[in-house]
Chain A
Amino acid sequence: MKKDRMNKWLSGDYDLLEHVMDTTEVPDHGREQVKKEKKSLLERLNQEARTYTVIEAEQRGFRRLYNVVAVISCIFLISVLLFLVSLLPHYGEENPRTIPMVERYVEEGLEETGAVNIVSGLILDYRAFDTLGESHVLFTALVCVMILLRIDRKNMRTDFEDYYTIQQDAYYDLSKDSIIRFVGSVLLPVVFIYGIYILLNGQNSPGGGFSGGAVMGAALIMSAAAFGFKTVDRYLTAKASSVITFVALGFYSFAKGYVFFTGANGLDNHIPKGTPGAIFSGGLILPLDIAVGIVVACTMFGFYSLFVRGNIGGEYETDSLVEKSRSASLVRKGGSHKDPAVDEDGRPIARLRKVARPENPLENAGPEDLVCDEDGRPVARLMKMTGPRQEGRQEDEDD
């Protein structure tokens, strides 16, 4: 039974938590709609199965060839790699060819960097340029995920799937669970302080920017999951996260630029090294650690927030939609749960705001222009699979 549910979830059929969290009575119009669309999609697939079987027939020869070549290449790869591993120097023995480089790092590391942790001195002083590149990789990944997954006014108007995503998210809201709230309130300060401790001790003990940032990001995620996103939205919106990340990366770049400049010209950069073992030691290692940790924490929380609800802060209508759907379902709790998609005036909630954008064909459309079913619920537009979605949805005028 459990394996069946796992297989269904992996194939995208339905939610794993469907029968587990039946605590509230919010009806799942979203999921029913999605099932309807999916059924119609699959019907269409079966109706025109001719095309599908033609594609299958075309692909059958290719698929056989692909399987054979893939098996051969996998076996070849593993055998070549194992052969190369057998040629490596013995595990656990010192490699005499790397001794000169290691000597430089270990024996002169403390005087040149001031860090007791040799690896931290390595990645944040000798090879700080690589760490700068890594931080940029994290930032770029956050930007890419924001491009892909962010729900804003333009998307939500035309993509009711996002609205149902938000409604489902209200259904699975964890902040009403008292166990998670209690554990969160006990653990959250501990985890956050632990993250800061790891960050500050990057140069004296195992730790550093990346691990400390990851733990701090985990603390932020826990506070958002246990207490709702509103607690974190007070200080970490999308704009704040972007500004903080940008400032941290800029500071890192300028600091390292200064050090490169003075080092290349033989000058002395007057950055104190401090006594080894203290917190304020290691020259520039501590500020760079803090910058990297901030970037990592913002990125981790940004990923979580974007995957769960489509935005980092509450700037757009996502939170008001959640509140409205929750309040609408609570208002009709005694009666029928027909229309959580409709607020008190009877208009569908997904069209909350009219933004002045004249080129949008849905600009002055009233509720009757939406494609609704007999109960007045808007039906998602995913039934039209005629080409990619474009800006402004000009193909809607062909209905």
Chain B
Amino acid sequence: MIENLGINYEEAVAVILFGIGFTMMLFQRNLIKKLIGMNIMDTGTFLLLASMGYISGRKAPIIENGIQKTEAYINPVPAGLVLTGIVVSVSVTAIMLALTIRLYKRYHTLYLDDIYALSIHEQEDR
């Protein structure tokens, strides 16, 4: 199993990046750092997807000189999947940053524990 990990080193690194991002999201108390963790998770996913299409010794899937054999090009399908993923990552990051800005305007802090305490304050005051 270990030597398989050594051969699939790109996918292993991608999965480790995913794990690092996941850990950041769970453990950081600062909102911006959670978002950074989510971005790292996305990056790991893209690396995993894009590296699954690579076939060594072949070229990028742009037809040149009219050669249209499958043996000359790498697998083009994962590239399309990564495109969708990147768009989704950008959109989700933008919405989350907007939410963070609104939270900051309301509570003047980015620290999740303080926001929670202040919101409980408000509920008690009502």
The finding on whether chains A and B are genuine partners in a shared complex, rather than unrelated, reads yes
List chain A positions with a Cβ less than 8 A from chain B. Answer: 10-12, 34, 37-38, 41, 45, 48, 51-52, 55, 59, 67, 70, 73-74, 77-78, 81-83, 85-88, 90-95, 98-99, 101-103, 105-107, 109-110, 116-119, 122-123, 127, 130, 134, 137-138, 140-141, 144-145, 148-149, 159, 161, 205-206, 210, 276, 303, 306-307, 382, 385-387
CB-based contact B62/A118 at 8 Å:
yes
A385 with B122, Cβ < 8 A, contacts A10-B30, A81-B19, A87-B4 known: yes
Main secondary structure of the interface of B (DSSP, over half): helix
Which B91-113 residues sit within 8 Å CB-CB of chain A?
A: 91-92, 94-95, 97-99, 101-102, 104-106, 108-111, 113
Given contacts A92-B54, A116-B62, contact A98 B77 (CB under 8 A): yes
Q: What chain B residues lie within 8 Å of A119 (beta carbons)?
A: 61, 76, 79-80
A105 to chain B, nearest CB (A): 6
Q: Are A117 and B102 in contact (CB under 8 A)?
A: no
In the complex, which residues of chain A have a beta carbon less than 8 angstroms from the beta carbon of B73? Answer: 106, 118
- Contact mask B9-36 → A, CB, 8 Å, 1/0? 1111001101100110011001011000
Q: Mark B75-86, 1 if CB is under 8 A from A, else 0.
A: 111011001101
Q: Is B111 in contact with A385, judged by CB distance below 8 angstroms? A: no
Q: A90 — nearest CB in chain B belongs to which residue?
A: B7
Do residues A51 and B124 form an inter-chain contact, with CB atoms below 8 A?
yes
Describe A's contact surface by its main secondary structure. helix
Number of B interface residues in the complex (CB < 8 A): 73
- B11 pairs with A91, CB closer than 8 A: yes
- Shortest distance in angstroms between B12's beta carbon and chain A's nearest beta carbon? 5
Instruction: Kindly provide the distance from the CB of B111 to the nearest chain A CB, expressed in whole angstroms.
Output: 6
- Which residues on the A side are within 8 Å of B1 (C-beta)? 83, 86
Q: How many interface contacts (CB-CB < 8 Å) are there between A and B?
A: 193
Q: Shortest beta-carbon distance, A125 to chain B, in Å?
A: 11
Chain B residues within CB distance 8 Å of chain A: 1-2, 4-5, 7-12, 15-16, 18-19, 22-23, 26-27, 30, 32-33, 51-52, 54-56, 60-64, 68-70, 73, 75-77, 79-80, 83-84, 86-88, 90-92, 94-95, 97-99, 101-102, 104-106, 108-111, 113-114, 116-118, 120-122, 124-126
Rounded to whole Å, the gap between the CB of A332 and the closest CB of chain B is 28
Whether the Cβ atoms of A82 and B76 lie closer than 8 Å is: no
For residue B45, give the distance in angstroms from its CB to the closest CB of chain A.
11
Q: Which of A12, A81, A98 contacts B15 (CB 8 A)?
A: A81
Give the residue name and chain of the A residue nearest to B95 (CB): A144
B30, A206: Cβ atoms closer than 8 Å: no
Q: How far does the alpha carbon of A276 sit from the alpha carbon of B109 in the complex, in Å? A: 57
Cα–Cα distance between A81 and B14 once the two chains are bound (Å):
10
| Minimum CB distance partner of A91 in chain B | B8
Write the chain B residue with the least CB distance to A38: B108
